Chains A and B, each alone.
Chain A
Amino acid sequence: MSDTATIRNPGYLKLELMIRGVKISRQALGCAEIERRIKLSKETGAALELEIVLPENVLVNIPVLECLAEDRPYTLIEEGSRFYIVGRDEKVEVWIPSLPEFYDKKTTSGVPMVEIGRAYAGYLAISPTPVCEFIKQDIACHYCDLESKKGRAWTVDEVVETVEAALDEGAAEFVCLNVGYTDTADGGIALLEPYIHAIKKKFDVLVCVQAQPPGEDKWIDATYAMGVDSIAYNIEAYDTKLFSRIAPGKLRLLGRDRYFEALRYAAKIFPSSAVVTNLIIGLESIESTNKGISNLTAMGVIPTLPIYRMGFDENMDSAKLLSDVAPIYVHLQQSLKRNKLSPTWISHFNLALNAIDGHFFGGEAPLQQKWQRVLKSKHGGRIAHSISNFRRRLRVRSVDDDSTPSGF
């Protein structure tokens, strides 16, 4: 595929930018929005991302500090207060959303909100507590970004204040909470319970959780019951050997099979298409990834496909790279369709390429695109939240509805 064709196709361009990054031109660096991101990133160590909206509303995020490097094939330029991505001989207009205002705010207890929550065009990501047994036992996942963060857990009030600020300015439509693994039957989800309760009580907002599978399935029921609308247990790699290499803690303390068991069970408990797992592209063979996609989608699980950027050969021919990787997204889109799954939830995860983007590589433009737009509207979000609550009310019941054992 020619450079021109690449830059004109938002899906390809997103892929290219995710893999190869983008350089910010000198005059674009002077733009207040970008300057603010860089300043905040440096000051807080918060590793903010440069969010770029490509044509057809395709979102891509790239760590902003990486964009300061010189050796990138694409450049972000500013011309008369408009932004463009420039390739070798072609340019395309893009948009830079303004940085959320709550990043400059502090909680009542004095913590900068940017340290607590990060908004990614649609969702607010928060890791309320840095507890993780894998890290404690020195078997952290290889790409763990919590490992370097030492600090206290945020209080429920601090988290609620941050969520409130983000929702008030429309910086996010739903909240995504992350938690590490704890060596308890609940696997860590119980640590999130007070936060989830507080958020659900105070706001009409959907909550997604990224956690590790609990030891017992009943905690998956409990996860749904406590108000979680979408759950992600990330297996990262479908290949068994690779899984053990990149996630030694997951392998040793839980085992790969437990991830599949838990995902399969969660798919029965959570609404359709609300169970998600990461499958990193670029670490294993395409056949293996495709097999993973087929099996996971058959279980009712939606894979998100982030790209392992470090794994790519910098000098690799762009056309080859795209021709290798692009079919995976098409396969994902087809697998979802075959299994009647709708990628509405993952569409928010713009750090990864997703099935909705798949149509740029030759798949069909899915209906979900429209549905996604509806969900992103204020009323759409409320309706989604009400439907989600109604489903929970119907499906969740207490085990001791009658507290008297039968045989007395």
Chain B
Amino acid sequence: MWLLTDSDREKDDPDVVVDSRPLGLVLLSRSYRWFAFIGLGLLFWILLAWPTPTGLTVDGQRTLAAFVICLILWLTRLIPLAVTSLLAITLIQLLGVMESGEAFALFGHQAVFFILGAFILAAALMKTGLSSRIALFFLSKFGGSPKQLLLGALIVPAFLSFWMPEHAVAAMLFPIIIEIVRALGTKPRKGNFGHAIFLSLAWGAAIGGVGTFLGGARNALAVGILKQTTGQFIGFFEWMIAVVPMVFAMLIIAYFVINRFFPSDIDSVEEAVDVLKARNKQMGKPSIEERMVGFIMLLTVAAWVFLGSAVELASIAILAVVALFVFQLVKWRDLEGYVNWGIILMYGGAIALGFALEDTGAAAWLAQVLITRWTTSPMIIIIVLAFISILLTEGMSNAAVVAMLVPVGLGIADTHGIDPRVIVFAIAVPAGLGFAIPMGNPPNAIAYSSGYIDPKRMLKVGLLLDLCAWVVFVLMAKYYWPLINIRI
């Protein structure tokens, strides 16, 4: 009876915390939500009852009221992001801005289905173990020295984030990196190497995530809003051509920054290599399922690149998903845990709200009031938008930043004759580049949960990297994009 049974073994991590602040503060923080909801209700009423400003239609004013409320909810997270999006879609049809059929139909936008397909493909990669195999294969090529291992920990997640959501990449690599640091005997928050390798993981995944539509689904969301509101489109390949050079530049900068601020304090990584080898060995030969999933993934990416202008990206994604089921490579139940249904709902609502803002002229009015009143220079507008986007993404959801800024940005593009695609890049790309705060990015949060990262050091070095990302983005926009025919 002294032996532990399986059910006695490791339990799931607890999902609760106890707030140990003084009781008065706790009471206040618990009840503030109600005051906040009452305040929001009042604000909504005031925004609706306010005399309609010149240049804004009544529908525009109503949409703007809904937008402000959703914006506050997205920022404060008084309710989950997805529920705020559902509220957005309900508000715009209750206020008579859109017919209910029209509003809810926007949930069926192709960007939503593209994201759904991408999530399912990533789930198949993870479920079959193919993604871990690829990660281990590449990581084990970087075992020559501590610096090389750090480079591997930066490049491998970046590469994988081209093909899978960045948070999934970070979550998948997390246990491998934990094993590596344990094998090397580094202790949480002590010394540099543990710090550096987890930051490499987080920042590598985040940087890679801006490179395609797959890494950061917000990219697809931004393009979805673009297509819904202007009819213009950015293809899978076109996006990569425009953004991948920036990914390379940021990887190089991140590598130097990490080595500069966290110089390695270990001499050898032999134990880490042993861990990687043992893990590799454990995986055995690739299974049929892995090979098949790999093949379908390659075909899908090829189709996105070469057929993207003729066939909807979402249709290609969905066909790939169907193929996974035709060949019985995954089961529906396996996928349910991997797919973030909340985010899909969120995107549907964000697209609807973005469309309403554009359609009613509210976006253009807002852009005029907030930005173009102060400057009309397209370059300055792009610089400011990129800055706001990086700043906001440190404090709020990447997707919320996109949902909030893209409609406004498109309004500016409309009134100032800027290529709307540039606006999409200027918002969606920086929105994935929050390096300074653990909650600024899902990979940051995952790496931070290791306990190896000191938030103060992360903030200091991350802010520097934020700044670099902003500068690199501006340089790209000014000097590189004109070469590939994207003009501001």
Chain A residues proximal to chain B, CB less than 8 Å: 130-133, 135-136, 150-153, 182-186, 190-191, 218-219, 221-222, 224-225, 268-269, 391, 394-400, 402-408
Q: Is A408 a contact of B16 with CB atoms below 8 Å?
A: no
Q: In the complex the two chains form, what is the Cα distance from A185 to B27 in whole Å?
A: 31
Q: Which of B334-353 contact A (CB under 8 A)?
A: 340, 342-343, 346
The answer to whether B288 has its CB under 8 Å from any CB of chain A is no
**Which residues of chain B are near A218, meaning CB under 8 Å?**
13-14, 17
The answer to whether B68 has its CB under 8 Å from any CB of chain A is no
- Report which residue of A136, A191, A397, A406 has the largest number of chain B beta carbons within 10 angstroms of its beta carbon: A406
Q: Which of B419-450 contact A (CB under 8 A)?
A: 432, 434, 439-445
Q: Is A398 a contact of B397 with CB atoms below 8 Å?
A: no
**Which residues of chain B are near A268, meaning CB under 8 Å?**
20
**Which residues of chain A are near B2, meaning CB under 8 Å?**
130-132, 135-136
The answer to whether B82 has its CB under 8 Å from any CB of chain A is yes
Distance from B160 Cβ to chain A, minimum over Cβ atoms (Å): 17
Q: Is B10 a contact of A408 with CB atoms below 8 Å?
A: no
Q: Is B1 a contact of A151 with CB atoms below 8 Å?
A: yes
Q: In the complex the two chains form, what is the Cα distance from A186 to B14 in whole Å?
A: 9
Q: Is B8 a contact of A131 with CB atoms below 8 Å?
A: yes
A191/B8 contact (C-beta < 8 A), A404-B81, A408-B397 known: yes
Q: In the complex the two chains form, what is the Cα distance from A408 to B9 in whole Å?
A: 33
Chain B, Cβ-Cβ closest to A224: B18
A404/B17 contact (C-beta < 8 A), A152-B1, A184-B11 known: no
**Which residues of chain A are near B27, meaning CB under 8 Å?**
394
Q: Which of A133, A221, A407 lies in contact with B16, CB distance below 8 A?
A: A221
Distance from A188 Cβ to chain B, minimum over Cβ atoms (Å): 9
The answer to whether B80 has its CB under 8 Å from any CB of chain A is yes
Q: Which of B68-83 contact A (CB under 8 A)?
A: 77, 79-82
The answer to whether B218 has its CB under 8 Å from any CB of chain A is yes
Q: Is B19 a contact of A398 with CB atoms below 8 Å?
A: no
- Chain B: residues with Cβ within 8 Å of the partner, total of 46
- Report which residue of B17, B80, B396 has the largest number of chain A beta carbons within 10 angstroms of its beta carbon: B17
Name 19 A/B residue pairs within 8 A (Cβ), A-sorted: A184-B8, A190-B11, A218-B14, A218-B17, A225-B16, A269-B20, A394-B27, A395-B20, A398-B15, A402-B77, A406-B396, A406-B442, A407-B397, A407-B434, A407-B439, A407-B441, A408-B81, A408-B217, A408-B442
Q: Is B18 a contact of A395 with CB atoms below 8 Å?
A: yes
A408/B4 contact (C-beta < 8 A), A394-B23, A402-B81 known: no
Q: Which of B9, B80, B393, B434 lies in contact with A404, CB distance below 8 A?
A: B80
**Which residues of chain A are near B1, meaning CB under 8 Å?**
130-131, 150-153
Q: In the complex the two chains form, what is the Cα distance from A403 to B15 in whole Å?
A: 11
Give the 8 A-B residue pairs with the shortest CB-CB distance, closest first: A222-B14, A407-B441, A190-B11, A225-B16, A407-B442, A136-B2, A405-B442, A221-B18
**Which residues of chain B are near A151, meaning CB under 8 Å?**
1
**Which residues of chain B are near A131, meaning CB under 8 Å?**
1-2, 4, 8
Distance from B348 Cβ to chain A, minimum over Cβ atoms (Å): 14
Q: In the complex the two chains form, what is the Cα distance from A94 to B3 in whole Å?
A: 45
**Which residues of chain A are near B218, meaning CB under 8 Å?**
408
A399/B9 contact (C-beta < 8 A), A407-B167, A408-B343 known: no
A395-B26, A407-B440 provided; 7 other pairs, C-beta below 8 A? A186-B14, A221-B16, A395-B18, A396-B18, A397-B17, A404-B346, A404-B397
Q: Is A402 a contact of B80 with CB atoms below 8 Å?
A: yes
Q: Is A407 a contact of B14 with CB atoms below 8 Å?
A: no
Q: In the complex the two chains form, what is the Cα distance from A268 to B82 in whole Å?
A: 35
Chain B residues proximal to chain A, CB less than 8 Å: 1-4, 8-11, 13-20, 23, 26-27, 30, 77, 79-82, 167, 217-218, 340, 342-343, 346, 393, 396-399, 432, 434, 439-445
Q: In the complex the two chains form, what is the Cα distance from A41 to B244 in whole Å?
A: 79
**Which residues of chain B are near A398, meaning CB under 8 Å?**
15-16
**Which residues of chain A are near B79, meaning CB under 8 Å?**
402
Q: Is B17 a contact of A399 with CB atoms below 8 Å?
A: yes
Q: Is A404 a contact of B15 with CB atoms below 8 Å?
A: no
Q: Is B77 a contact of A185 with CB atoms below 8 Å?
A: no
Q: Is A399 a contact of B15 with CB atoms below 8 Å?
A: yes
**Which residues of chain B are near A133, meaning CB under 8 Å?**
4
**Which residues of chain A are near B346, meaning CB under 8 Å?**
404, 408
Distance from A293 Cβ to chain B, minimum over Cβ atoms (Å): 24
Q: In the complex the two chains form, what is the Cα distance from A55 to B37 in whole Å?
A: 59
A406/B20 contact (C-beta < 8 A), A136-B2, A136-B3 known: no
Chain A, Cβ-Cβ closest to B17: A221
Q: Is B439 a contact of A403 with CB atoms below 8 Å?
A: no
Chain A, Cβ-Cβ closest to B167: A405
Q: Is B16 a contact of A404 with CB atoms below 8 Å?
A: no
**Which residues of chain B are near A190, meaning CB under 8 Å?**
11
**Which residues of chain B are near A185, meaning CB under 8 Å?**
10-11, 13
Chain A, Cβ-Cβ closest to B342: A404
Distance from A40 Cβ to chain B, minimum over Cβ atoms (Å): 24
Q: In the complex the two chains form, what is the Cα distance from A224 to B14 in whole Å?
A: 11
**Which residues of chain B are near A405, meaning CB under 8 Å?**
167, 397, 442, 445
**Which residues of chain B are near A191, meaning CB under 8 Å?**
8
Q: In the complex the two chains form, what is the Cα distance from A185 to B14 in whole Å?
A: 10
Q: In the complex the two chains form, what is the Cα distance from A115 to B483 in whole Å?
A: 84
Q: In the complex the two chains form, what is the Cα distance from A152 to B445 in whole Å?
A: 43
Q: Is A221 a contact of B26 with CB atoms below 8 Å?
A: no
Q: Is B19 a contact of A397 with CB atoms below 8 Å?
A: yes
A225/B82 contact (C-beta < 8 A), A184-B9, A406-B439, A408-B217 known: no
**Which residues of chain A are near B16, meaning CB under 8 Å?**
221-222, 225, 396-399
Q: In the complex the two chains form, what is the Cα distance from A96 to B262 in whole Å?
A: 70
Chain B, Cβ-Cβ closest to A216: B13
Q: Which of A153, A182, A224, A404 lies in contact with B340, CB distance below 8 A?
A: A404
